[in-house]
């Protein structure tokens, strides 16, 4: 990427796919996980706020800002479970990285693909710290847009190579199994959640339904399991029965946001949870023994998007996978914005 003054690089969906493919999905996920872990380890240096959510009957639109004093990032993201019926994505997103010193944007990027990658990378980072050692088998309940990314991140970071799939829509399971075919997995397509979780040391729930759902009941979760609960990420939208939460050691991204949006919205506001960064920095324990149930109550936090944008910006520097956006007005004299308009009018005349 050549540095051009006042030009903002824009990464379209097409360019994002080219970037991901040129790096390779596994390497992309592994390196991105490294950026996420690096940023979680310096958690106190970020400004943090629960995301700003705008709810409607069928979904939610959210803004997710953060900054580390040098760089500012935000993501615009939606969640509309009914979209799929009209051929649209449940989740779409774009984001911006900006220079805190000048306030100028430095990068504008699609983040639909990037969100799937960063969510999977973050889940795998959490599992690296929490899942039972030597785990090889993961059940994935909900086989939609996020599911393959989850499988690939767990393979790249933890060596998970046995995947057990279930979705209420068998077409989704066929799609997921087909996409993962030949990528080094032993894949079982299951007829129910009960069947899918059999023998799985890790259970990922990544379903989409804008209501309190019970994807997992208490009897389905055995001692020692690591739960990666990704789909419950909105007020009124959860996946796990409350009894599971009461048996689990619960780990979250940013507790004030997860109390609003995560599985723990079902629990009293003072129920103890541990923020993941505390485990990564060694200030709080992760898994304490092989019989504990660990739960990563994932909702997606702004710092993960910041890490993802930072990673894309660094990798983009070696490529031409972007368009140069004329996003910043640049009059010769900064106060002469109107003069710039007049000169443009003369040129057009």
Q: Which residues are tagged catalytic? A: 233
Q: Closest-CB residue for ligand NAD? A: 144
Query: Is 249 among the residues that bind ligand NAD (CB under 6 A)?
Result: no
Contact with ligand NAD (CB under 6 A) among 63, 168, 260, 267: 168
Contact with ligand NAD (CB under 6 A) among 146, 248, 294, 307: 146
Query: Is 60 among the residues that bind ligand NAD (CB under 6 A)?
Result: no
Query: Is 165 among the residues that bind ligand NAD (CB under 6 A)?
Result: no
Contact with ligand NAD (CB under 6 A) among 8, 230, 264, 308: 230
Query: Is 142 among the residues that bind ligand NAD (CB under 6 A)?
Result: yes
Task: Give the shortest CB-42-to-ligand NAD separation in angstroms.
Answer: 20
Contact with ligand NAD (CB under 6 A) among 8, 16, 190, 206: 206
Q: How far apart are CA 134 and CA 146, in angstroms?
A: 24
State the pairing for strand pair 52-55/323-325: unpaired
Q: How far apart are CA 95 and CA 80, in angstroms?
A: 18
Between 9 and 232, name the residue whose CB sits nearer to ligand NAD: 232
Task: Give the shortest CB-74-to-ligand NAD separation in angstroms.
Answer: 15
Is residue 285 within 8 Å of 279, Cβ to Cβ? yes
Phi, psi (rounded to 5 degrees) for 324: -90, 115
Query: Is 238 among the residues that bind ligand NAD (CB under 6 A)?
Result: no
276-315 residues near ligand NAD, rule: CB under 6 A: 298-300
Q: What is the dihedral of CA 124, 127, 133, 134, to 10 degrees?
A: -30
Q: How far apart are CA 69 and CA 45, in angstroms?
A: 8
Query: Is 207 among the residues that bind ligand NAD (CB under 6 A)?
Result: yes
Query: Is 180 among the residues that bind ligand NAD (CB under 6 A)?
Result: no
Q: Which stretch binds ligand NAD (CB under 6 A): 17-25, 46-54, 100-108, 228-236?
A: 228-236
Is residue 59 within 8 Å of 210, Cβ to Cβ? yes
Query: Is 65 among the residues that bind ligand NAD (CB under 6 A)?
Result: no
Q: How far apart are CA 73 and CA 95, in angstroms?
A: 7
Is residue 64 within 8 Å of 305, Cβ to Cβ? yes
Task: Give the shortest CB-305-to-ligand NAD separation in angstroms.
Answer: 9
Annotate 62-130 with DSSP letters as a single string: EEEEEE-SSEEEEEEEEE-GGGGGGT--S--EEEEEEETTT--EEEEEE-HHHHHHHHHHHHHHHHHHH
Query: Is 127 among the residues that bind ligand NAD (CB under 6 A)?
Result: no
Q: 87 exposed, middle or buried (CB, 10 Å; 0-12, 13-18, 19+)?
A: exposed
By the criterion CB under 6 A, which residues form the site for ligand NAD?
79, 84, 90-91, 115, 119, 141-146, 166-169, 172, 206-209, 213, 215, 230-231, 233, 298-300
């Amino acid at each position: 990427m050549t540095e051009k003054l006042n030009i903002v690089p824009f990464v379209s969906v097409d360019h994002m796919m080219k970037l991901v493919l040129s790096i390779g999905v596994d390497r992309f996920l592994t390196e991105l996980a490294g950026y996420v872990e690096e940023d979680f380890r310096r958690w106190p240096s970020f400004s943090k706020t629960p995301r700003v959510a705008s709810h409607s009957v069928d979904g939610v639109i959210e803004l997710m800002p953060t900054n580390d004093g040098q760089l500012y990032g935000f993501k615009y993201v939606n969640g509309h479970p009914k979209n799929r019926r009209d051929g649209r994505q449940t989740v779409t997103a774009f984001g911006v990285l900006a220079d805190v010193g000048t306030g100028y944007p430095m990068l504008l990027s699609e983040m639909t693909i990037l969100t799937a990658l960063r969510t999977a990378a973050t889940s795998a980072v959490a599992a690296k710290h929490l899942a039972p050692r030597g785990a090889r088998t993961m059940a994935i309940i909900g086989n939609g847009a996020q599911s393959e990314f989850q499988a690939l991140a767990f393979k790249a970071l933890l060596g998970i190579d046995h995947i057990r799939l279930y979705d209420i829509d068998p077409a989704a399971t066929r799609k997921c199994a087909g996409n993962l075919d030949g990528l080094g997995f032993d894949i079982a397509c299951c007829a129910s959640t009960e069947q899918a979780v059999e023998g799985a040391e890790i259970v990922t729930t990544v379903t989409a339904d804008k209501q309190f759902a019970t994807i997992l009941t208490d009897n389905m979760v055995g001692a020692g399991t690591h739960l990666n609960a990704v789909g419950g990420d909105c007020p009124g939208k959860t996946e796990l029965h409350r009894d599971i939460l009461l048996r689990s050691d619960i780990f979250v991204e940013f507790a004030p946001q997860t109390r609003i949006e995560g599985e723990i919205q079902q629990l009293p506001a003072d129920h103890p949870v541990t923020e993941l960064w505390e485990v990564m920095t060694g200030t709080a324990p992760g898994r304490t023994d092989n019989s504990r149930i660990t739960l990563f109550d994932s909702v997606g936090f702004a710092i993960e998007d910041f890490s993802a944008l930072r990673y894309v910006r660094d990798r983009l520097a070696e490529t031409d996978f972007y368009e140069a956006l004329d996003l910043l007005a640049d009059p010769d004299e900064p106060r002469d914005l109107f003069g710039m308009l007049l000169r443009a009018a003369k040129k057009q005349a």
